Amino acid sequence: MLRVIVRRLLQLAVTLIALSALIFVWLRNLPGGPVEALLGERATPERRALLIKALGYDQPILVQYAKFMQRVVTGDFGNSIRTGDPVSEVIGRAFPATIELAVVAMIIAIGLGVPLGYLAARHHGRLLDNLSIAGTLLGISIPIFFLGYLLKDVFTQNIHWFPPSGRISTGLDNTNVTGFFVLDGLLTREFDATADALWHLILPAFTLATIPLAVIVRITRASVLDVLNEDYVRTAEAKGLRHRVIRGRHILRNALLPVVTTIGLQTGALLSGAVLTEKVYNWGGLGTLITDSISGGRDYPVLQALILLAALVFVVVNLLVDLSYAFIDPRVRVR
Amino acid sequence: MSDPMTRPGVTSPRDGSGLPASDLSAGDRPGVEEKPEGVTRDLGRLGDRKKARLDELARATADKGGVSLVRDAFRRLRRNPVAIVGASIVGIFILVAIFAPLLAPHDPAQRFDELTKNLTVDNIPGASSEFPLGSDPLGRDFLSRLIYGSRQTLFVGVVATLIGLGLGVLIGALAGAFGGWVDNILMRFTDVMLALPALLLAISLVAMASRSSQWTVIFAVAVVNVPIFARLLRGSMLAQRESDHVLAARALGVKGRSIVLRHMLPNAMTAVIVQATLTLSTAILEAASLSFLGLGDPDINRAEWGLMLGVDGQRYFEVRPELAYYPAIAIIVVALGFTLLGEAMREALDPKNRR
């Protein structure tokens, strides 16, 4: 087991280093070069020369790459072109918003997806099954930003159930501890803030959950269908085991492995979807940051940090998923 | 991925595959079914036994020529309602794209005075007898733009998929054909691409270009799909390296290049083609997402559904939501069509369903 972990960690490191090298090359080959990108219209020969020296672009490329890597490892990505603040600070402010949104979306997707997929498989070929298939197909075919606008229109304009945008009501005096508003409310016992933050979360989280939900339902359904026909399930039934035991120990536990893999892969869909969802609901997280960093004159220092961060999150989550196999499937532990 | 085509086994119950009632085959082709008796009867006469086995083998292979996996799959596809719905949607979509000039009542780029004069910040003219779906934000006929939009949407989807397919097949075929360190390097390369979530990779690629255009969108969407095609093809190519038909070809002295191009690649392509069908749907959706993020094609004259939904649909959602609804419905239906067709193809080509 330990050897597997070490090998996977090494692989992960290689992937990330390669990605950082690509990003380095990308930044070096920006249209007009990184210096132009930084200076913009204020470029004069003197300024350019000064900046080239200040940024170390007069040094050999390998030295530059080493310096770049050194800064990446220490989390120093320079300053945002747009605001002038350090990139780590800019990202640190937006990070909790996206994580909060993604976690709630994932809870919705798993919490609804696994039972729905299981039920669909149990009712194979009947109305519930067909409805769930139709639903999942629609879920993966709808542009989620459009779904976001649709939900927003129905639930905030026509019937005022939810707030249209933002993470918390303006004027609510909530104490900021961790940046996770739901958690902050619990920590400081400002339960009204928690309730308000959750209330703001529902629509965006459902929007973001659409695609993972659809995929999880499909995979769970297919996986449970496979397991249902296994001999050991029939044996368990023949032994007269209670249905609850068969369901839990024999069916779900065996059917869960592909589902867990899918959940890991859906992190990618969540990160992608967050960019779209956050724009719809004006969420102010990493997705909003990406959109702003591109549309308001390209803010390359922020962008490169965001790209590396997204890759890091995605790769680490998938590593954790792979490792979790050991807990679900004893066969993996032996190998 | 084991492909039954790669294993011309005599003992596999190939006969009657695809026939509605497989028990009929015993009567149709007695030779194959009677194998155990035939073997025992000829016991002792080795020459005859060998001949019988060879005959049997010949019959089995001839049989395979009769119902190849692809033809068999196609037959099952024609009977699958899901496939029919998917294919009909795709067919109508393509027909609309081809005959757009005949179907559209007006020129999609022309701004009409009777529409522009009623155009204000908070009013976009709705349906009238002359303009069935009303106006777009620039006073052009919305229905005509929607019809012409099918062309550009099809173009973006198909070209992006083809570029992604081409590059992916190239990488996957190289990795699968050579194996070893070539495979290792190429797969680490795809790992890096897969380490970024799809849309983020597309965003970074578009951000690389100084100005976005239709081609940056197509390129970005294409590149996102390259590692998926590459991995898929590599997997089934590697599985075939060990298979009997490749061994047979090698034993016959077929050249390496020929084995790869004629024996391995065609057998490995089915999974890739299914994936390409599914990709057509995601490509259209991803292009729409890029437009929504303001990274789409900046050409205001271009009528493309993703662009119409992502730009005008978003901007004027409060004023006239129909500007978003119609292109959105068009995108959903077409994406659904490609997905249904792709899923049905995958099911039909799955050897497990060959009964």
Q: pLDDT digits over A96-154, tens only?
A: 899 999 999 999 999 999 999 999 998 988 898 999 999 999 999 999 999 998 998 88
Residue in B93, B187, B204, B231 to test binding to A, most A beta-carbons within 10 Å: B204
Q: What ipTM does the predicted assembly reach?
A: 0.85
Q: Is the predicted pLDDT of residue B65 greater than 60, yes or no?
A: no
Can you give the length of chain A in residues?
A: 335
Q: Is the predicted pLDDT of residue A175 greater than 90, yes or no?
A: no
Interface of B with A in 201-230 (CB under 8 A): 203-204, 206-210
CB A310 within 8 A of CB B192: no
The pLDDT-based confidence of B314 (bands split at 50, 70, 90) is confident
| Closest-approach residue (CA) in chain A for B319 | A153
Any chain A CB within 8 A of the CB of B193?
A: no
Whole-number Cα distances in Å, A37 to A52, A131, B209 = 12, 52, 12
**Domain spans of chain B, in order of start:** 34-62, 80-353
Give the one of B188, B197, B288 whose C-beta lies nearest to A14's C-beta.
B188
Q: Please state, in angstroms and rounded to a whole number, the distance separating the CA atoms of residues A69 and A74.
A: 9
| Residue A332 confidence (pLDDT) | 63
| Closest-approach residue (CA) in chain A for B313 | A146
Q: Please state, in angstroms and rounded to a whole number, the distance separating the CA atoms of residues B141 and A178.
A: 52
- Chain B: give the shortest CA distance to residue A157, in Å: 10
Any chain B CB within 8 A of the CB of A269?
A: yes
Burial class (CB in 10 A: 0-12, 13-18, 19+), B121: exposed
CB B146 within 8 A of CB B308: yes
pTM: 0.81
Max mean pLDDT among A26-35, A284-293, B106-115, B134-143 falls in: A284-293
From A96-100, A158-162, B154-158, the region with the lowest mean pLDDT: A158-162
Q: Is the predicted pLDDT of residue B66 greater than 70, yes or no?
A: no
The pLDDT-based confidence of B159 (bands split at 50, 70, 90) is very high
Any chain B CB within 8 A of the CB of A24?
A: no
Is B200 or B209 the better-scoring residue by pLDDT? B200
Give tens-digit pLDDT for A236-256: 888 888 888 888 888 888 888
Any chain A CB within 8 A of the CB of B319?
A: no
Taking CB atoms and an 8 Å cutoff, what residues of chain A touch B340?
137
The pLDDT-based confidence of B2 (bands split at 50, 70, 90) is very low
The pLDDT-based confidence of B57 (bands split at 50, 70, 90) is low
- Chain B: give the shortest CA distance to residue A16, in Å: 7
Binary contact (B196, A307; C-beta < 8 A): yes
Q: Please state, in angstroms and rounded to a whole number, the distance separating the CA atoms of residues A145 and B286.
A: 11
Give the one of B199, B206, B335 whose C-beta lies nearest to A141's C-beta.
B335
Mean pLDDT of B58-64: 56
Give tens-digit pLDDT for B163-198: 999 999 999 999 988 888 898 889 888 888 888 888
| Residue B191 confidence (pLDDT) | 85
Any chain A CB within 8 A of the CB of B329?
A: no
CB A274 within 8 A of CB A104: no
Taking CB atoms and an 8 Å cutoff, what residues of chain A touch B281?
141
| Closest-approach residue (CA) in chain A for B325 | A146
Q: Which fold has domain B80-353?
A: MetI-like fold (1.10.3720)
Q: CA end-to-end span of chain A, whole Å?
A: 8
| Residue A37 confidence (pLDDT) | 64
Residue in A147, A149, A207, A314 to test binding to B, most B beta-carbons within 10 Å: A149
Any chain A CB within 8 A of the CB of B288?
A: yes
Helices (H), ranges, chain B:
25-28, 30-33, 35-41, 46-66, 69-79, 81-98, 100-103, 113-116, 142-178, 180-194, 198-208, 214-241, 244-251, 256-258, 265-292, 305-307, 314-315, 322-349
Q: Please state, in angstroms and rounded to a whole number, the distance separating the CA atoms of residues A88 and A76.
A: 7
Axis-axis angle for helices A253-281, A191-228 (nearest 10): 140
